[in-house]
Structures are given as structure tokens and as C-alpha cells.
Structure 1
Amino acid sequence: MGIRKARVGDWKSVCGLLEQLDYYDTESFIREKIEALINHPDEELLVYEISGKVIAFISIHYIPQLALKGDFARISYFAVDSTIRSQGIGRDIEAHCTDLAIKRNCDRIEVHCHSRRKDAHRFYARQGYTESPNYFMKRL
């Protein structure tokens, strides 16, 4: 089937993929999060499905900019099942999201990727991303 919009019923597959990213215990709230994302006008939650099985997902947020002509798109979560990586699925999803971002008047895509995810860093570099080290966070 390929890339499609996520549905709340995809929650188990998304949980399994999140576990591969070391995000555990999401079962108690994931359905509500998925529903909020798929109903928000500035969000995209997409899955990649093969033979009825979700094997990847990506969450994109569109961020309008006040002082810049173009807006931003931000990848918040992106996972391809570890058993089928390096087969072009991630590249296809990222390219699809790039096209969606361009249609939404975005002139860049951002992603925060933890330093321990070296394979993901290589993937993003191959897709044309460059490092921008000034990233600050405040925990609430």
C-alpha cells in the first residue's frame, strides 16, 4: 500500500515502533495522542504499510513563522522497523514529507535527533540535512 495517513487503529504498530526508539510504556496514552495529531490542522502523522502491516511512521509539525517568509516543518518522531531498514522506505517517507512541507509554504525541515542515534544521523545527512547545534530545551 505505501504511505497513508495514520488511523487510531494503528496504535499497536506505532507503540512497537516507538519501543524500537526506546520509548516504552506508551500504550496508556498513545490512542489519544494519535487522535489529537490526526485531527490537528498543523500536524501530519503518516504510516508506511506493506501487506496490511505498518512498518514505519513519521510525525510532522508545521510551524508558522512570523518574521520569516517561509514556515518550518519539524519531524518529531520517525521510525522504520529495524528488521527492514536500508531498503529505501525511510527515504521515501522523508521525500513525501518534504513535498508536503513545500506545499505548506515551508522552506525548511528540522529534526532533533539524539546524539546516540548515529545511524539516524547518517540517514539525515544522506537526505541533505545539516547540523544546527544551537538547540535549547527546558523541561517542565
Structure 2
Amino acid sequence: MEIRHALGTDAPAVTTLLAELGYPDNDETDVRGRLERWARHPEGAAFVAEADGKVVGVVAVVAIPLLERPGSGGRIVALVVDETRRGSGVGRELVAAAEAEALRLGCDTMEVTSSRHRTAAHAFYRARGYEDRCEQSARFIRPLTA
């Protein structure tokens, strides 16, 4: 298995992976554009796991500059592994690549959000040393309109 930077040409496979993650309304053209945008992002990156010539996982990570203290915090924006490859180490390798990139970008922490119904994902993150801190802070979201 190889972990490498995602390319626009990975869009068909990444589109399928995003559908597995619960986002079936993605169009390959749109995903291609997003992957190309990630490739140019100065403080983030998207990586894919490739095995036997097939993309079997994807992760995107971004560094967020902090105001309250020096440095940046890393955030895994998306992580999904082909359902037939889960439990085989693909996710672990992708998270390691995201963490290495976050360190390279000057981050001293890493965060990830995960829907409450994804209990297997929560166990995966806990096994990697991540702590669920939802009782310490709330997450608020508001759509923006022009």
C-alpha cells in the first residue's frame, strides 16, 4: 500500500468513497475540482491510500492558525476507507500521514469530528489516542448565505 498526495485524477474513486461516508450527492467533476484545490492549499493536504493500483482510502487535513496561543491546530476534515478494506490498517496509515503533515505545518494538536452514530469510527480514533471532549465544548454550525 502507498500513501500519496491526492490528484484530480483520483476523483472517481474519491467520489465513491465519499458516498460510502454518507455523502452520495457528490459529482466527480466537483470532487476533481476540490482535490485540485486541496493540492494547492498552502496549509493543508489530501492524501489517498492506493493498493494494487486502486484508491482504497482518503484523508484531508488542514492546519488552523490559533489566536489564543502560538502555533496551529490540525484538523482531519474527512477520512474514509473502502468498506472492504476497513480493519486492515489503511485508516491507521492515512491518519499517520495526516498527523505527519500537521506536524510539518507546525501543529501541536489534532482534532477530528465524527457523527455520533459512527461508533466504530469513535473506537478507531480512541485507539489512536484521540479523546472525545464534547462535554468540554459545543460545536455550533450556521449556514452562510450571500
Cα drift, residue 62 of structure 1: 0.9
Cα drift, residue 96 of structure 1: 2.0
Question: What is the alpha-carbon root mean square deviation over aligned residues?
Answer: 1.2
Partner of 2:13: 13
Hey, which bits of structure 1, 4+ residues long, moved more than 3 A? Answer: none
User: Which of these residues, 118, 132, 139, is aligned with residue 135 of structure 1?
Assistant: 139
How many residues were matched structurally?
140
Partner of 1:30: 31
Q: Is the 8 A contact 2:43 2:105 kept in 1?
A: no
Partner of 1:96: 97
1:1-140 residue pairs with structure 2 within 5 A? 1-27=1-27, 28-133=29-134, 134-140=138-144
Q: 1-side partners of 2:104 and 2:30: how far apart?
A: 31
SS in 2 for 1:24: coil
Cα drift, residue 66 of structure 1: 2.2
Percent of aligned pairs with the same amino acid: 34
Q: 1-side partners of 2:69 and 2:114: how far apart?
A: 24
The unaligned stretches of length 5 or more in structure 1 are none
Q: 2-side partners of 1:67 and 1:73: how far apart?
A: 15
TM-score (norm 2): 0.91
Q: 2-side partners of 1:103 and 1:37: how far apart?
A: 16
Cα drift, residue 138 of structure 1: 1.4
TM-score (norm 1): 0.94
Q: 2-side partners of 1:85 and 1:123: how far apart?
A: 10
Q: 2-side partners of 1:29 and 1:54: how far apart?
A: 18
**Residues 36-72 of structure 1, C-alpha deviations (whole Å, 9 max, x = no match):** 1111111201000012100000011111112212311
Q: 2-side partners of 1:102 and 1:20: how far apart?
A: 29
Q: 2-side partners of 1:71 and 1:114: how far apart?
A: 24
Q: 2-side partners of 1:6 and 1:80: how far apart?
A: 14
